[in-house]
Amino acid sequence: MSFDPDDLGSNPSDNPDLQQVIAQRFSRRSLLQGGLGVAALGFLGGGSAALLTAGPASAQAVPAAWRGSSPLLGFKPLKVSTLDQVVVPDGYSAQVLIPWGTPLMSTGPAWKKDASNTAAEQAQQVGFNHDGMSYFPIGGSSTRGLLVLNHEYVDQVMLFPDGDAVITAEKVKKALAGHGVTVIEVRMDNRGRWTHVDSTSNRRITGETPMAFSGPVSLSHPMLQTSDPVARGTLNNCANGQTPWGTYLTCEENFNGYFGTEDTSFTPNALEARYGIRKETTTLSGGGANPNAGKVLDFGYRWYTADARFDLAKNRNELNRFGWVVEIDPSKPDSVPVKRTALGRFKHESVAMTESGGRVVAYSGDDENRDYVYKFVGSRAYSTILAEEKSPLDEGILYVAKFNADGSGVWLPLAHGSGPLTTANGWADQADVLIRTRLAADAVGATKLHRPEWISVDPRTKDVYLTLTNGSGAPTVSGRDPDVYGSIVRWKETGGDNTALTFAWEPFLLAGDPQKDNRTTVTEASRFGSPDGIWVDPDGRVWIQTDISNSVQRAGAYERIGNNQMLVADPDRKELRRFLVGPNGCEITGIAVTPDRRTMFVNIQHPGEDTRAIGTPTAADPRKVSNWPDFDPTGRPRPATVVIRKQDGGVIGT
Ligand code: FEO
Ligand code: CA
Ligand code: CA
Ligand code: CA
């Protein structure tokens, strides 16, 4: 089963498309070379002009010695790898920590390698498919802290002893327990080895944990009414964020993929359609009658066949309880997670938080082909709001980005009463605007993007980096249509103030393989594609994690790129080096460091998943693609965290 349905897109608006905008910018390169001022040139500087005028990548010199030219990148770059293991540079180690099924407490249920743990046992174990992650130091420590991590989805072939041919209510319960978030205390010994430890902080938040709603949309809103007065759970927790007040933010991404119905009398309304709910057509795309015609299929979980909560015809509004950013306080194990509705409802990939003048700014991309990027700006200093025992994430304005061809950009407010979002136009109030965020963004004229994934703010410069993983169906940069490799865009808010309503942007790099596509701006040695996770460290290193879909990994355009990987870029020289490569069938996602940055945590998600170029795992042979990390001849692959250490104890990346 492929879990990469995001590239379908569900945006029918005729808003401008960033690829058209970038193409226009590239066509202006002679203008830029001529030195004529445009609004954005103040930001662009020398390095960017070089990018804008770059020819085929063969013209770029590959560093003769591994030390290269960047003083930031102090490690020997890796070659591509197709090994079924985690590969790190010379002088580094990678240790497996808290794989799926690890009991949270030493007295908890042991993981069973035949996947026969029950739903109740799974709820006391680390969940499946680790994703975004933060490290919360205890007392500022770099050897003791709480690791908080998301579990984006479950692979039901791996999760159940008999696979997923039959879905039962007990299986739905186990799958829900495999989702959500883990909070677990971890410590390092004096030999640099990390372990998880028993702690009163250890907890699981799952697809069934009761949730609160806060901000303009309350749980009592008519569009959130279901047969259950309690809002249960968080789903498809992709990437994350961390607030300045010590809480964790988890993002609900592809929530539509959990809902479906066999009731052909159900027809999605315009709002549901815009969030990806579709009836099956009468004919298959390849021709022939569609046996599911008129039904709404989910992404393959089929929970709606065993649990009415996920059946759209029976519980339509359950869908509207998802698509939010959820705040969790890891220091309070009994606290109820809160859905922070002021940040909008869409397929939130991640939340990148910063502050300016004491006000919070939270950036978040909507990961769908031809959807948008947003930012929330707090209305007052967050310390003032906290002192009133209120949430800084409940008071502020949500904006959506418009990118202009001249390198300028503007943030458009999604505020009730402003622009087209008026009562006369059918927008009832701010809650209505937020529940229908995508439609509000369509109405104000936001710029479509090719699957905006993670965002990170450079802590030195306040520049904002955004990965656009890949996309299709639009005129693209240098004729790349579909853009199978993706790109990274960055911008500077006017005056370096992240609350500003205008910005200057540029393409930072265009991913690719120079032997397959001479429009890429990366070299032969650092060829890569499908950037997803991104984090700019305090020295400015840009850490980039890839998520090449298992449907295209190691074949075609990705034939020479190997397994998914993590690279590091110099933000000024744009030199790029491969730092880590994962095992077969995985993606690399999630990145967290200790305060001293001498330990880095990275997640290996979905090792061994169905990979077209390798094979299809089954209940009888779950090891078909990978058997990482246990390599037990009768076991199965397990998503896990890996701990990266430099053997000399130095800062990671130096
Ligand atoms: Fe969960 Fe867009 O990755
Ligand atoms: Ca992702
Ligand atoms: Ca992705
Ligand atoms: Ca993923």
For 582: left if phi > 0, alpha if psi spans -120 to 50, otherwise beta; the answer is beta
Ligand 4 mean position to 406 CA, how many Å? 34
**What's the pLDDT band for 479 if we cut at 50, 70, 90?**
very low
- Termini Cα distance of the chain: 40
What's the rounded mean pLDDT across residues 10-24? 71
**Which ligand is closest in space to the CA of residue 606?**
4
- Compute the distance between CA of residue 587 and CA of residue 562 in angstroms, rounded to an integer: 11
CB 88 within 8 A of CB 94: yes
What's the rounded mean pLDDT across residues 25-51? 34
- Compute the distance between CA of residue 509 and CA of residue 521 in angstroms, rounded to an integer: 6
Predicted pLDDT at 639: 99
DSSP three-state, residue 357: coil
More confident residue, 58 or 332: 332
Does pLDDT of 315 surpass 50? Answer: yes
Distances (CA, A) of 502 to 39, 401, 408: 11, 9, 7
Ligand 2 mean position to 406 CA, how many Å? 29
Place of tokens 């790029």: 576
Dihedral angle sign, alpha carbons of residues 206, 373, 5, 264: positive
**What's the pLDDT band for 27 if we cut at 50, 70, 90?**
very low
Please, which residues have CB less than 5 A from ligand 2, an ion?
532
Ligand 4 mean position to 150 CA, how many Å? 11
Ligand 4 mean position to 547 CA, how many Å? 7
Predicted pLDDT at 415: 98
Distances (CA, A) of 636 to 157, 368, 620, 623: 10, 31, 10, 6
584-621 pLDDT, tens per residue? 999 999 999 999 999 999 999 999 999 999 999 999 99
Residue 471: DSSP 8-state:
B
Predicted pLDDT at 30: 29
The count of other CB atoms within 10 Å of the CB of residue 522 is: 23
Predicted pLDDT at 313: 98
CB 482 within 8 A of CB 513: no
Ligand 1 mean position to 253 CA, how many Å? 7
From the CA of 253, give the closest atom in ligand 1.
Answer: 1
| Mean pLDDT score across all residues of the chain | 91
Does pLDDT of 34 surpass 60? Answer: no
Closest CA to 451 of 2, 5, 6: 6
Place of tokens 């136009």: 425
81-105 pLDDT, tens per residue? 999 999 999 999 999 999 999 999 9
Distances (CA, A) of 118 to 201, 606, 622: 23, 20, 19
From the CA of 367, give the closest atom in ligand 1.
Answer: 2
Looking at 266-381, list the stretches that DSSP marks H as alpha helix, in order from N- to C-terminal side. Answer: 270-274
- Compute the distance between CA of residue 640 and CA of residue 96 in angstroms, rounded to an integer: 7
Predicted pLDDT at 629: 98
Predicted pLDDT at 28: 40
Which of these ranges, 6-20, 122-136, 167-181, 603-617, has the smallest mean pLDDT? 6-20
Does pLDDT of 182 surpass 80? Answer: yes
What's the rounded mean pLDDT across residues 11-18? 78
DSSP three-state, residue 51: helix
- Compute the distance between CA of residue 87 and CA of residue 85 in angstroms, rounded to an integer: 6
What's the rounded mean pLDDT across residues 575-590? 98
**Percent of all residues in the chain with a pLDDT value above 70, rounded to a whole number:** 90
322-332 pLDDT, tens per residue? 999 999 999 99
From the CA of 236, give the closest atom in ligand 1.
Answer: 1
Ligand 1 mean position to 367 CA, how many Å? 7
Does pLDDT of 207 surpass 80? Answer: yes
- Compute the distance between CA of residue 292 and CA of residue 297 in angstroms, rounded to an integer: 8
Looking at 451-492, list the stretches that DSSP marks H as alpha helix, in order from N- to C-terminal side. Answer: none
Does pLDDT of 68 surpass 90? Answer: no
Predicted pLDDT at 405: 84
Does pLDDT of 394 surpass 60? Answer: yes
From the CA of 451, give the closest atom in ligand 1.
Answer: 2
Does pLDDT of 4 surpass 70? Answer: no
**Which ligand is closest in space to the CA of residue 366?**
1
457-473 pLDDT, tens per residue? 999 999 999 999 999 86
396-416 pLDDT, tens per residue? 999 999 998 888 999 999 999
What's the rounded mean pLDDT across residues 326-352? 98
Closest CA to 218 of 417, 364, 24, 431: 431
- Compute the distance between CA of residue 605 and CA of residue 609 in angstroms, rounded to an integer: 9
Predicted pLDDT at 187: 98
List, chain by chain if needed, residues with CB within 6 Å of any ligand 1 atom. Answer: 152, 238, 253, 349, 367, 453, 532
From the CA of 152, give the closest atom in ligand 1.
Answer: 1
209-256 pLDDT, tens per residue? 999 999 999 999 999 999 999 999 999 999 999 999 999 999 999 999
What's the rounded mean pLDDT across residues 344-366? 98
- Nearest protein CA to atom 1 of ligand 1, as residue: 238
